[in-house]
Amino acid sequence: MTDFVYDFHQGSRAMADLLGGKGANLAEMTNLGLPVPPGFTISTEACRAYLDAGVEPAGLASELEEHMARLESRSGKRLGDPHDPLLVSVRSGGRYSMPGMMETVLNVGLNDTSVTGLAAVADDERFAWDSYRRLVQMYASTVLGVDSEIFEKAIERRKATRGVGLDTELLADDWRAVVDEFKTAIHEYTGRPFPQDPLEQLRSAVGAVFRSWNAPRAELYRRHHGLPTKAGTAVNVMAMVFGNLGQGSGTGVAFTRDPATGEPGVYGDYLTNAQGEDVVAGIRNTVPLTHLRDLDRAAYDELLSHMATLEHHYRDLCDIEFTVERGKLWMLQTRVGKRTPAAAFVIAASLLADEIIDEDEALTRVDGEQLSLLMFPGFDPGAERTLVTRGNGASPGAASGTIVFDSETAVDWAKQGRAVLLVRRETNPDDLPGMIAAHGVLTSRGGKTSHAAVVARGMGKTCVCGAEDLDVDTDNRVITTPTGMTLSEGDVLSIDGATGEVFLGEIPVTDSPVVRYFEGALSAEEQKSDDLVSAVHRLMTVADRRRVLEVRANADTGEDASRALRFGAQGVGLARTEHMFLGERRAYVEHLILAETAGEQEAALAELEPLQRADFEELLAAMDGRPVTIRLIDPPLHEFLPDLTELAVRVEHDAATGASDTRSQRLLEAVRRLHEQNPMMGMRGVRLALVIPGLLAMQVRAVGRAAARLRRNGHDPRPEIMVPLVGSVTELRLAREEAEKVLHDVRAETGQDFDCPIGTMIELPRAALTAADIATAAEFFSFGTNDLTQTTWGFSRDDVETEFFARYLDLGVFDVSPFESLDREGVGQLVRLAAHAGRQTRPGLGLGVCGEHAGDPHSIHFFHDIGLDYVSCSPFRVPVARLETGRAAVGQNTDSAGSGSA
């Protein structure tokens, strides 16, 4: 029989898949001897069984009662006891942290009788009724689905009646009246009274937490962060300890290092006379954790000791939740803390320097997505700015946008292409869509551990919290600043997520210091003096030593190639020659298309060749001594011509006004002749080379002459010619024969000898399936995973991403767009098959990938695993690819990179 429930002392942090992250870490702290309230964890297996069947799995009820009896024995109290009741919390806890996305119910076990016993034991009637109020409110919204606004409005009415502004100013009689009002609302909404049986409360709360795994906001969060959809959540049942027992009690969140910068020290928030959800919800503004030293020195010193123990044990930044109950410290949760990308690099480099972790483990603590976020711009330091106010810098970065006051508006305006800033008093989990859509988040309440702060850091989103000088009126959609200025929806603000500053209007931005480092714009002294840049440099050095895959860049110009070199590229894996036919050069392509005789066609190609040769010479010179893979022209020629409809209208208009000319008529005829219903499957790639006489020869001759000229001038050009869209080995052989003849003639003509391997792109399923044959005519394969994804799935990328991908993601057809991260089960298997078959035929066959997946961290690990030689991505993604190829070499799975980092 399956065990569904585990006491804390039965688990360990190695059991996170079964007990969830929270439960595993509670077990770990218990076994370290830290002061953890007694409790137990209901496993993720129980959750999956519950969700599959829709009912509580057989055996769970009896296990619950058995473990509840043990908990009662350890605590010396009994659930529902009318004199000294045991109360428990019921909290979610999945394998991966999902802050605020699932449900919690506190004070389970209170009822109309035991509330008086709690008041007597605590000698605090107000505390008891406030605790009962919290249970009824949470239970109603979480378990029964009653609108939480009903309860918030009831509390607001009570405060207005009493003439007070804070919840803490309400007295025992106030909370007693509020509880009565809550219970009446529950009966009206559900037709049933609030349950008085503590075990019924417990079992119902557990079921509600299980169901919250599939709540829309939880699904959206998992989709946004690429988390598994079927894992389920564990449920942690723990004896309640109370931070709301007066000024000698409180609750807080601590970090062993600054989660924003990575600097060591004492960081966190504390709130006196409060329970944990008050801190996270941001309902009241917290004080810095160091204030606890003055309030309760003994508890503060003990907390610091436990923080040191946990950081030493976990060898990482730890995020800790704790409560002080009348001077007694209780540790309620720990985890490897979420951190900003900057903090992730600084912490990993610091732990490496202190020899707490080795180089390989340091690479596991950071990832490519974090690095890419560090490369985003910040505010121009020289720009004028008008300070409005200052809050808590909760998630670094720079963001400007038009202010909006609700999630729905943020989403709508973002869809219109507007940069928006979501402004709230405090955020809640339902604001997640707006937070994703917004460039930044600004709240007037809450600290660095509020919902807004934690979620924003997890998304790499700029966030300022606790700007309490701002009066945020969401009903009237205005903000009143400390100076009395009124800002309305649609006005522009800028926020600095590092300093917490809020500025009026839009502020220009500049490149990040990390980009300046990669560009080579920082001196050695500047690198050393900047902790972040120094950390990035150290870890990139480790990654470059470890990696096996080369990193090349997709570059079409000498300027692109030069930037890619500065960013660490080892060559060009894709130079798209069709990009060289844009702009003013379209006219030369028109000449080729309109040519009616062989002579006219040859003349048009002769016009194009010197332009192509100059382009190739610039590119090869920039990458001197490194490979440059030049793809022959790929897209249909009609893409270089005017739009059919626009041209037809213009010709008709000219005819009507007597201004028609023969050239426009001929051009229209050509556009109509070349028009295709499905051009991506039509006359493109190798088909152009085989059907249009002289086109392939012109391009190959231009490559050869560019290489010969550079060789003559003492350079070391290393061109490679790539034939696109091959589906048959016969196509490649025909193209290769013509190309080899042209290159032979160029060598004879110039007297220069140079190597120029000829290979092909594998971007059609047939090419992948016949790779063994194609390898007989190819010296290298480059996988074009963009087109291979389109042709494998039968997707037209430009259409499907807007038409139905969102629905497919909702339905779980795929967890992430196959154009963002490689579809390993389908497209990936074609790549694997082709790579293996190609090397079976030609053992020295070069293998690379040049689609957008070459810069995707998850995909890079796959390419490493199947033995490719290189990845080729955009110049800006080269550092990301360098880091991820190093991580792949040490066997680090991207799903576990920096488990608490964001």
Annotated catalytic sites, by residue?
A: 451, 850
Q: What tokens were used for 148? A: 């939480």
CA 628/CA 620 separation, integer angstroms: 7
CA 682/CA 635 separation, integer angstroms: 9
DSSP 438: S
C-beta of residue 275 within 8 angstroms of C-beta of residue 242:
yes
Single-letter amino acid, residue 709: R
Which residue matches tokens 């709508």? 412
Q: What tokens were used for 315? A: 């060898």
CA 421/CA 388 separation, integer angstroms: 15
CA 170/CA 182 separation, integer angstroms: 16
Q: What tokens were used for 514? A: 């990390």
From first CA to last CA, the distance across the chain in angstroms is 38
CA atoms within a 13 Å half-sphere pointing along the CA-CB vector of 437: 24
Distances (CA, A) of 400 to 183, 434, 507, 757, 778: 45, 15, 7, 49, 51
Phi and psi for 781 in degrees, rounded to 5?
Answer: -115, 135
3-state secondary structure 46-115: HHHHHHHHCCCCCCHHHHHHHHHHHHHHHHCCEECCCCCEECEEEEEEECCCCCCCCCEEEEECCCCCHH
CA 105/CA 206 separation, integer angstroms: 9
DSSP lists the bridge partners of residue 761 as 782
Return the SS3 of 268: strand
How many Å is the maximal CA-CA distance in the chain?
A: 105
Helices (H) and strands (E) in the chain, counts: 37, 33
CA 549/CA 565 separation, integer angstroms: 16
CA 572/CA 627 separation, integer angstroms: 6
Q: What tokens were used for 785? A: 């995973």
Distances (CA, A) of 162 to 155, 173, 245, 488: 11, 11, 22, 32
Return the SS3 of 204: helix
Distances (CA, A) of 560 to 444, 574, 575: 44, 12, 10
Pairing of the two strands 233-239 and 39-42: antiparallel
Q: Which helix (H) or strand (E) holds 887?
A: helix 878-889
Distances (CA, A) of 202 to 41, 196, 232, 237, 622: 13, 11, 19, 9, 69
Sign for the CA dihedral angle at 842, 845, 849, 850 comes to negative
What DSSP string describes 767-799?
Answer: HHHTHHHHGGG-SEEEE-HHHHHHHHHT--HHH
Q: What angle do CA 837, 838, 842 make, to 5 degrees?
A: 120
